[in-house]
Amino acid sequence: MVLIVQKFGGTSVGSVERILNVAERVIEEKNRGNSVVVVVSAMGKTTDQLVSLAKGITDNPNKREMDMLLTTGEQMTIALLAMALNEKGHDAVSYTGWQAGIITESVHGSARIMDIETGRLNNDLEAGKIVIVAGFQGVSIDGEITTLGRGGSDTTAVALAAALKADKCDIYTDVTGVFTTDPRFIQEARKLGSVSYDEMLELANLGAGVLHPRAVEYAKNYQVPLEVRSSLERESGTIIEEEVSVEQNLVVRGVAFEEEITRVSVVGLPNSLTGLSTVFTTLASNRINVDIIIQSTTEKHTTNLSFSIKSSDLEETLAVLESVKETLGYERIEAEQDLAKVSIVGSGMISNPGVAAEMFEVLAANEVEVKMVSTSEIKVSAVVKQKLMLPAVEALHQAFNLASASVKL
């Protein structure tokens, strides 16, 4: 018997009508003779509404109590879906993350899964039950309810698939698969039939919102086949696996983009062996994510250090750097806002030199100034002015022939 893990996001369970639709999709899988575990998010905007309630009481809510509050959203969804399945004549049981045996580290708001105790779930599956698990949540070793942070339900689904040795994990969402770029902004975007784990991990890290990077990383580490599919349309999605056939020999397989980027520059940093490590160790200890880094030495024998962050982290970044100014001895901090990041991704870039040069030629031809650059074996990223982000994406999508990408199903 095949074991399938299905994950349905907030849009897919956003109303009673949609929950009933999800129930039908689950039953279809069950009727094929498969065992089914279902992971669900909170309904629609429920999490946002819960955050708003907390903000109505305090601007700085306690992280433990926020986890207690936010996990109620998924708890509501699992109960309603179990009721829908039971009403349709199928034996279903719902579990919160901690009831399902999801053990996390002792961090509130962004905990990582440490282990999953699968005994209870396996017993239910052997009894023929449909198991429904709340995404985004777990319990720490010391018994505290925790949440997994943004994209936590994706991570829950893939982690369960790995722990239960599932044959496949289907991620149901409001799009029909992984596209060459975001179809909401670029009309010529095309759905890809397959993407490698590495390509998907880069796309997810670079702004593609279809899957959370942590979930893709989990899938790669445990070799869990994923399929991103539509919860509303009955059609094949995009398979994410280790090796994929190159569609039409595309060197570049996708263009990702992310707005609200800020470049922070630490000017006049004394040349020392420990200066850089102090800057980034301090930022890391405050959970501030740093992306692209550029270092240059001045004629005054000092160092200028620039790095990109999410604009939402700017205030905290400035405060953290100010707190170590005396230790670092820098002259000043500069911040350039209203920036965005545009990236091309493709495993074919490894064996095709000149892709980066072509990208910069396209950007120059479209009068897009490049502020910062970052590369890996399968991606090139450029920080540009935010107002030029979409024109840059459109130009790159066209230049690398992604509009004619075929979908291999």
Domain ranges for the chain: 3-174, 245-409
The mean per-residue pLDDT over the stretch 68-74 comes to 97
Distance, in Å, from the CA atom of 6 to the CA atom of 4, rounded to the nearest integer, reads 6
Mean pLDDT (whole number) for 147-174: 94
Query: What does the pLDDT look like over 327-347, one tens digit per residue?
Result: 888 999 999 999 999 999 998
CA-CA distance, 276 to 270, in Å (whole number)?
A: 10
Distance CA 396, CA 409 (A): 25
In this prediction, residue 405 carries a pLDDT of: 58
| Average pLDDT rounded to a whole number, residues 362-366 | 97
pLDDT at res. 409: 35
Q: Which residue has the higher pLDDT, 209 or 21?
A: 21
- Core vs surface per residue 360-381: b (16+ CB within 10 A) or e: eebbeeeebebbbebeeebbbb
Supply the pLDDT for residue 244. Answer: 66
- What fold is seen in the domain 3-174? Carbamate kinase (3.40.1160)
Cβ–Cβ < 8 Å for 268, 297: no
pLDDT at residue 397, as a whole number: 96
Average pLDDT over residues 205-220: 88
Quote the pLDDT of residue 408. Answer: 42
Which pLDDT score, from 0 to 100, does residue 243 have?
A: 73
Instruction: Confirm if 250 and 402 have CB atoms less than 8 A apart.
Output: yes
pLDDT in tens, 91-130: 999 999 999 999 999 999 989 999 999 999 999 999 999 9
More confident residue, 177 or 299: 177
- What pLDDT does 150 receive? 81
Q: Does residue 35 register a pLDDT over 70?
A: yes
Please determine, for residue 245, whether its predicted confidence score (pLDDT) is greater than 60: no
CA dist 87 and 19 (Å) reads 12
Q: Is the predicted pLDDT of residue 407 greater than 80, yes or no? A: no
Under the banding of pLDDT at 50, 70 and 90, the label for residue 62 is very high
Q: Model-level pTM?
A: 0.85
Q: By percentage, how much of the chain surpasses pLDDT 90?
A: 77
What would the mean pLDDT of 253-279 be, rounded to a whole number? 89
Q: What is the CATH number of domain 245-409?
A: 3.30.2130.10
Average pLDDT of every residue of the chain: 92
Q: What is the pLDDT of residue 207?
A: 80
More confident residue, 34 or 247: 34
Q: What is the 3-state secondary structure (H, E, C) of the chain?
A: CCEEEEEECCCCCCCHHHHHHHHHHHHHHHHCCCEEEEEECCCCCHHHHHHHHHHCCCCCCCHHHHHHHHHHHHHHHHHHHHHHHHHCCCCEEEECCCCCCEEECCCCCCCCEEEECCHHHHHHHHCCCEEEEECCEEEECCCCEEECCCCHHHHHHHHHHHHCCCCEEEEEECCCCCECCCCCCCCCCCECCEEEHHHHHHHHHCCCCCCCHHHHHHHHHHCCCEEEEECCCCCCCEEEECCCCCHHHCCCCEEEEEEEEEEEEEEEEECCCCHHHHHHHHHHHCCCCCCCEEEEECCCCEEEEEEEEEHHHHHHHHHHHHHCHHHHCCCEEEEEEEEEEEEEECHHHHHCCCHHHHHHHHHHHCCCCCCEEEEECCEEEEEEEHHHHHHHHHHHHHHCCHHHCCCCC
Q: pLDDT tens digit string along 290-309?
A: 999 998 887 777 889 999 99
